[in-house]
């Protein structure tokens, strides 16, 4: 089984992973409700409107770092013969923290509306990333199996 990092080395496969990743993000944003959900939807819409294509471009830019953080979990999941969805949900806090280390580091260098949106949403970040584990697991399973 390839790792996600290996999959991303092929430009055609990388594009599919990024496109599916954008789909995961859009689905997760769409599923949000309540006041925090409204804030997320507003921030997402603002960034999407001010910088069309930003989400896909940012994800493509971050994908190698994300893959490097996800691969150890994927390798462990595979070595245990575990169901990807179950494994990622059970390990959600650890996976989320690994991924948020990347975005936290990158956000430090951002400015304007992107930084403002990130700063407003980050306190709830781990909860939202953990909620995305079923979709993230499916994305990894789909592309790295």
Residue 138: its pLDDT value, please?
A: 98
- Domain count for the chain: 1
Q: DSSP letters along 69-128, please?
A: HHHHHHHHHHHTT--HHHHHHHTHHHHHHHHHHHHHHHHTT--HHHHHHHHHHGGGHHHH
Q: Give the span between the Cα atoms of 145 and 17, in whole angstroms.
A: 13
- Evaluate if residue 62 carries a pLDDT over 80: yes
- Evaluate if residue 67 carries a pLDDT over 90: yes
- Evaluate if residue 86 carries a pLDDT over 90: yes
The per-residue pLDDT for range 109-136, each reduced to its tens digit, is 888 877 887 787 788 889 999 999 999 9
What is the domain extent for residue 131?
Answer: 4-144
The per-residue pLDDT for range 5-29, each reduced to its tens digit, is 999 999 999 999 999 999 999 999 9
């Amino acid at each position: 089984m390839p790792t996600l990092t290996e999959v991303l080395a092929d430009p055609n496969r990388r594009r599919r992973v990024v496109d599916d990743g954008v789909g995961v993000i859009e689905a997760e944003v769409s599923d949000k409700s309540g006041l925090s959900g409204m804030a997320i939807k507003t921030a997402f819409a603002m960034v999407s409107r001010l910088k069309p294509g930003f989400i896909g471009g940012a994800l493509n830019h971050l994908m190698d770092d994300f893959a490097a953080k996800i691969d150890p979990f994927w390798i462990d999941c595979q070595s245990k013969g575990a169901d990807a969805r179950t494994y990622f949900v059970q390990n959600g806090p650890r996976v989320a923290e690994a991924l948020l280390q990347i975005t936290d580091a990158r956000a430090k260098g951002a400015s304007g509306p992107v930084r403002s949106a990130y700063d407003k949403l980050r306190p709830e970040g781990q909860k939202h990333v953990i909620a995305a584990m079923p979709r993230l697991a499916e994305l990894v399973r789909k592309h790295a199996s």
